[in-house]
């Protein structure tokens, strides 16, 4: 190698080192919240009525159930502890897992429920580009930080933990609801079931003729 080639080789090596340094060390460091496997909670954390859902953002039935839960929480937000867990059925819903991870990256910034709502309202469009567009619609969400989180895959373990919990309990479909520890056979009856717990019927008074 002659002197000129050696000189250019040294310059190229230094340039690569500088690029790597600026890419990995000069920018702001991305920090993620400590992995938390607890369900996402909405409503009253101290409520005696506990409703847990294992759900899939791409599942049509989950989209319908989302509306049902929304109505219930509008009526009884102070009386229900609603817990959301991920159960993306990737074999039939190819975008569900990534959507769940995206919601966890939003959760890292305290924006889980805002992003969760956008995913269900727009569950027919959950491509990577769509997920990014929804991130931009969440007020106060740092989109660049959210993108870094999603690209890193750091939140995949959080979703996998929920999946493992669902399978351990023997659940195999979505949505799966558990009300006060009991699996709900027909989630369409949830409004009546919840109302019966929160507003039990007052026993009818005996008529005068039976006194």
Averaged pLDDT, 102-131: 98
* Residue 209 pLDDT: 42
Q: Which helix (H) or strand (E) holds 40?
A: strand 40-43
Strand order across the 80-86 sheet:
40-43, 80-86, 49-55, 176-179, 182-183
pLDDT at residue 199, as a whole number = 87
Determine the pLDDT at residue 10: 54
Contact 32, 110 (CB under 8 A): no
Give per-residue pLDDT as tens, 15-49.
Answer: 544 443 443 444 444 455 556 778 999 999 999 99
Q: pLDDT value at position 25?
A: 40
Residue-wise pLDDT for 46-88, tens only, equals 999 999 999 999 999 999 999 999 999 999 999 999 999 999 9
**Residue linked to tokens 């924006």:** 111
Residue 184 has pLDDT above 50, yes or no: yes
pLDDT at 2: 58
Q: How confident is the model over 163-178, as pLDDT tens digits?
A: 999 999 999 999 999 9
Give residue-wise pLDDT tens across range 187-207: 999 999 999 999 875 444 444
Provide the pLDDT for residue 33: 54
What dihedral do alpha carbons 11, 16, 20, 26 form, nearest 10°? 30
The tokens for 51 are 């409703």
Collapsed DSSP state (helix, strand, coil) of residue 83: strand
pLDDT given at position 19: 46
Mean pLDDT of the chain: 86
Q: Residue 11: is its pLDDT beyond 80?
A: no
Cα 161 from Cα 15, distance rounded (Å)? 43
Give kind and range of the element (H or E) at residue 53.
strand 49-55
H-type helices in the chain, by residue range? 3-21, 60-76, 96-107, 112-121, 128-137, 143-152, 156-168, 190-198
Q: For the chain, list the domains and their CATH numbers.
A: 40-194 (3.40.30.10)
Sorted by sequence, the CB contacts under 8 Å of residue 125 that are 6+ apart come out as none
């Amino acid at each position: 190698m002659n002197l000129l080639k050696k000189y250019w080789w040294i310059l190229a090596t230094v340039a690569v080192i500088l690029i790597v340094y600026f890419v990995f060390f000069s920018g702001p460091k991305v920090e993620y919240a400590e992995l938390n496997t607890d369900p996402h909670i909405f409503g009253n954390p101290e409520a005696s009525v506990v409703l847990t859902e294992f759900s899939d953002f791409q599942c049509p039935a989950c989209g319908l159930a989302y509306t049902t839960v929304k109505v219930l929480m509008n009526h009884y937000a102070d009386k229900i502890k609603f817990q959301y867990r991920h159960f993306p059925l990737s074999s039939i819903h190819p975008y569900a897992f990534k959507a769940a991870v995206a919601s966890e990256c939003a959760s890292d910034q305290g924006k889980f429920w805002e992003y969760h709502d956008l995913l269900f309202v727009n569950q027919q469009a959950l491509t990577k580009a769509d997920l990014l567009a929804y991130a931009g619609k969440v007020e106060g969400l740092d989109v660049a930080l959210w993108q870094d989180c999603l690209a890193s895959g750091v939140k995949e373990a959080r979703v996998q933990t929920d999946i493992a919990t669902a399978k351990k309990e023997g659940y195999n479909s979505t949505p799966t609801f558990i009300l006060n520890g009991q699996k709900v056979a027909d989630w369409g009856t949830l409004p009546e079931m919840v109302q019966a717990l929160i507003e039990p019927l007052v026993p009818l008074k005996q008529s005068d003729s039976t006194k």
